[in-house]
Structure 1
Amino acid sequence: MTRTFYPLGAYALRGLAWQGDRAILVDTYRGHLLSVDPQTEDTRVLNRHQRAAFVGVTDLAIEDGVLWVARRNAILYGNLDDCYLYPFVELPVEVFGLAVSAGAVYASVDGYIAVLGRATRGPLRKLPLPGAGDATLAFHNEKLWAADRLEETVYGLDPKTGEIEQRALTPFADPRGVGFWGEDLYVLYAGDEYYVRDNPNDPDNPYSVDVRDRAVVNRLEVITVPGKPRHTLSNGYLVEMVYLEELSSEDPQPVHNLNWRIALPANTDRQKVLAVEPVGMPFELQGTGDRAVAVFPLGNLAPDEAGMFGWRALLELRGIKYEVRPEDVDNVPLLSPEMQAEYLIDDDDLGMNLPEIRQAAREAVGDESNILLKMLKIRNYV
């Protein structure tokens, strides 16, 4: 199976489902229902005679060969042979995401997930919508999945209660569709990207920064790590990091017996150090783990002596989401007065020390005592 592929000839893609070994997506701007081979990126238009019906579609699902789509405040269904759509139900609000199981239809709207009976077409229950933005949905192996565009997070939910069982950061921005190819979870990312435009017809300004549509489908790794705190890792990047110092004196004078210490990157829950090597001159390693330090014995330096030294590291960096529950922090002690005062220092122009901000925080928290629930109440208040 391919890890990443780019649908061709698309403007504004929404939704992701799978029919066999081909991905099914909608170009909501032009109304094209697309079938994409992930191996070759061969892209075909399925609804050659039903294009208008798919303009404005926000999400789609395929269950037992039946095609389902969400368009504005309506949910419709049809088949992939003629792509003719029939009305299923209309909701009083716009539908952003859609998932279908054997007995239920899940529709994400503003603030919650509406669950409808597939046979009765009537409401069954409401589930809380995770995240802070609109979400696209998928149903797989008795679990409901939601991808929040604003928080760039994919959530695995209990379809009966809406309880969050897993959450993973996405490696790209603007997740617009989520679906399973076999047992692998794939996410559609669709938005704008900046690029350097080469215009040979303008000799005075041949290069300019412009914006174009971007669409990519990428397999999302969801790695649950048990323990305390429990956390979930997602796709990673191989990163080369360089820390370099240069010998350059503003006031030339000799320096004697100089040792220069530079901290080295540490292994953490989301970061693994694969290799570290010196740059410019060798160093001596002191300490271990997250306290490892590179010591450069520079010795005696003459006035105006030139040189450089440092290190180059190869790191594996992954997205991480901690699964901390309110009951895990019931007995967390209060911050010390010194730490509280340091928290209010306005060193990032956040205005945390302003009376209005502090009063808003008090109003949001109310009589809540759990520190995690306090944070959630402040976030929801904002």
Structure 2
Amino acid sequence: MKPTDLMENTNRVYKLVLTGGPCGGKTTGQARLCTFFENLGWKVYRVPETATVLLSGGIKFSDLNPDETFKFQENLLKTMIQIENTYFELAKTSKRNCLIICDRGVMDASAYIDADKWERMKKDNSWNEIELRDNRYNQIVHMVSAANGAEDFYSTEEHSCRSEGVDLARELDYKAAAAWIGHPYFDVIDNSTDFEAKVNRMIECVCMKLSINIGDRLTRSSRKLKFLVSGPLVSDDQFPPFQDFNVVHHYLQTSGQRVQTRLRKRGQNGHWSYIHTTRRPHVHGQSIEVKTQLTQRDYLNMLAQKDDAHFTIFKKRRCFLVNNQYFQLDIYMEPSHPRCRGLMLLETYTSLEGEQLKKSLPKFLNIVKEVTGDPSYSMFNLSLKEDWNNTKKFCYSLHDLIDDGQKHTPNMKKLVNGKA
């Protein structure tokens, strides 16, 4: 079986959660995102916010006792899942590519429930967070509340279900973001720019994950940055709330030197999600990356295509939020290539630069230097059994340079595309 045999679908279905604190721009962002993708020829479904639908019917939390509140939250979540499933099933029949925008998602419920009650609710319904968070949605975008960084624009007017003051709005904003820590594709859109640019950054980050070339329709601002971290790692209690995952990467055989394919298994507590990634150079020198969610069965079948020229990569991935910035710390684990021993790499997507960027980085980590685009820290090169530093292999590291948003000379781009 060829890897591509599992990828041939008549349409793409992309499930996006748009979440955030009060007055973060979700409503406007959803409308703009819808228009943008419809103009690209996509079918767009917008899943309404279940809590707003139910609360607008006259339910008041102040009228409910603790048992009633718990039961209401549980039924709200079940209702949300059923409503979303209706759209998910409908999207599968679409003849066009389909974007499903969920106004909040199931993990948002955990932000409004005590931790012990959330655990009880999951146990009572046989739910686990890998399924609810990682496998259910393709991407999460959190729009930071105006109460956190754009206070002059925070307002509760024209929203019948919003009554939060600034301090409470900040608290709810953080809880809403923290609920999604750990999702493999989680973007936080802060208030470091004006609102128009904020919405454009939101649309941009969705297009980036879908490998859609947006040309000059939006100003590209966010880029992926990578930093080398030296140990020993600080104790867990010095981190903000975090989620740890076990991650396993396998590179697969490909038909051409300029194409990379890999499998990723990612999970915690015995529950896993599976992703197939194909990366190939674009005619304009950029790299196109397509990610497809797999079933466990498809994952196991595709492991037969494993490339023996590469070691399997094992990592512990720690995900956390600092200063409205989402970070992933990859701690390379045994057994891996000796060159990975003790290696820790911190990654983030950001539009910040200079001093602003420096201030946003975690102060509790010993960050040695930025290594964005450095071929020594390309996972493809790190996994190679042979020395990667030769012309044939070096073209792959150039793909990584382009992915990381670096500027290159025309000659470098020609080398990437096999023209030099």
Q: Which of structures 1 and 2 has the larger relative contact order (alpha carbons within 8 angstroms, sep 6+)? A: 2
Instruction: Give TM-score scaled by structure 2 length.
Output: 0.23
Instruction: Give TM-score scaled by structure 1 length.
Output: 0.25
Larger of the two Rg values belongs to structure:
1
Higher helix share: 2
